[in-house]
Amino acid sequence: MNKHQRTIQKPAELTGIGLHTGVPSIIRFLPAPVGTGVVFRVPGANGLVDLKADIGHVIDVNRGTTIALGEAKVHTVEHVLSALAGLEIDNCLCELNNIEPPVGDGSSKPFVDVLLSAGIETQDAPKTYFEPDGPINYSEPARGVDLIVLPSDDFRVTFMVDYRNPALGTQYTTLGSLEDEYIKDYAPARTFCFMSEVEFLHKQGLIKGGNLENAVVICDNGYTQEDADRLQEIFHYPNEVHIGKTGILGDVALRFPNEPVRHKVVDLIGDLSLIGMPIKAHILAARSGHAANVALARKLRAEIDKKRLADNYKAPPTEQGIQLDAQAIANIMPHRYPMLLIDKITNLEAGKHVTAIKNVTFNEPYFMGHFPHHPVMPGVLIIEAMAQAGGLMLLHMIDNPQEMVVYFLGIDSARFRRPVRPGDQLRFEVDMLSFRRGMCKIAGRAFVDDNLVTEATMMAMLMER
């Protein structure tokens, strides 16, 4: 049974410093209407900017997840997002006075506590869940990273990590219920790193706000008290830092015997929330970090886009992508006879690629004059058909395609390799090269059978109808 959407009852805030940037920071949580999602309101070049927590806004995954929209940017969003997702809060405005939320104690618990103090309010609209139809896999064999998403009647996570360090070794955990386990068993788990990483991260300009109060530092084999003393100087720790007997720098006590792998679950929950909806699935994870989590989230978003297109236009999803017939195409595109030049979409991957078909018959109106005794499809119409395929891909990337139209701004490197005649079937393969602020660049090729007949690079932009 699906639950209703939730927000918070009243504003609440948390103050501190950012983990990686070290900037003083205040985050203020505010209630938000149904359907808002999670939005960060942050300073931009010309005032405040509303930056939605969305997988399409991720720009960096180096030791944390960073999102941006234009010049507006927020570092290390995963702990805030994890707290919201862990409490099953769907709609929230997160006001920030700087570029990174406060790190707190390195876990998501400070955010959980603040949100609970604000109270949680059930809203008058059902949640929409992502429910996979079958297994979805992501792996990086060279790094031993594996992520598998399996259908389930609820959200579950099973996570395994194995470190070649006696203080950690192989660790394993399973979260079976957000409602019953997240607050008590996962939110308190703190971020961690190895002693060998600290200097490297510092030289990269990261962990400027890191200390032994907001991170667990694990001592590598071979590191000595001299190394610990050097770290104390680098980070200006006020107290002596010693190599602990437990294998943890400063003998900091762990909150759980397997605290590091539990924090990995916290990060995974936050990163996957960037798909924009709660998940009903069992996630199996091995050795995953932010880069792999975000890569998996992108795959899940692609599946969501396929399902949305199928629902909107009665398009059957296939292993290759989405298929659209002529009627479905007419529901999306503004073109009509005689200028609707696409008969079928055989593959559509949101924001990446489209394969389209045009059946060229002797009844095409242009053959009456081009040319009566030697019918050849005009090259400009081949380009137009290719552009329509690209435009359909572009319209599918937005929420309101019926309210928008695609205008083409330029055509480059157009080449016509051979004529197209009645009876030919044109297959267009169009790829998205770039998309920013409503403008895109696409590369298209047209084939008859497997013979390249036309190719071009085009630029286009979205406009209101």
Active site residues: 290, 370
CA distance 262 to 173: 7
Q: What is the 3-state secondary structure (H, E, C) of 312-337?
A: HHCCCECCCCECECHHHHHHHCCCCC
Nearest to residue 28, comparing CAs of 11, 53, 6?
A: 11
CB atoms within 10 A of CB 109: 22
Between the alpha carbon of residue 253 and those of residues 102, 217, 218, the distances in Å are 22, 11, 11
38 contact partners, CB below 8 Å, separation of at least 6? 52, 53, 81, 84, 91, 92, 94, 273
CA distance 199 to 432: 40
CA distance 172 to 161: 7
What phi and psi, each to the nearest 5 degrees, are found at residue 297?
Answer: -60, -35
Cβ-contact 13, 25 below 8 angstroms: no
Peptide bond into 338 cis (omega under 30): yes
Instruction: Specify the DSSP element, H or E, that contains 238.
Output: none
Between the alpha carbon of residue 39 and those of residues 36, 44, 46, 232, the distances in Å are 7, 14, 18, 38
Cβ-contact 298, 55 below 8 angstroms: yes
Between the alpha carbon of residue 290 and those of residues 58, 86, 183, 269, the distances in Å are 11, 17, 21, 11
450 contact partners, CB below 8 Å, separation of at least 6? none
| Measured CA angle at 45 (ends 44, 49), to 5 deg | 25
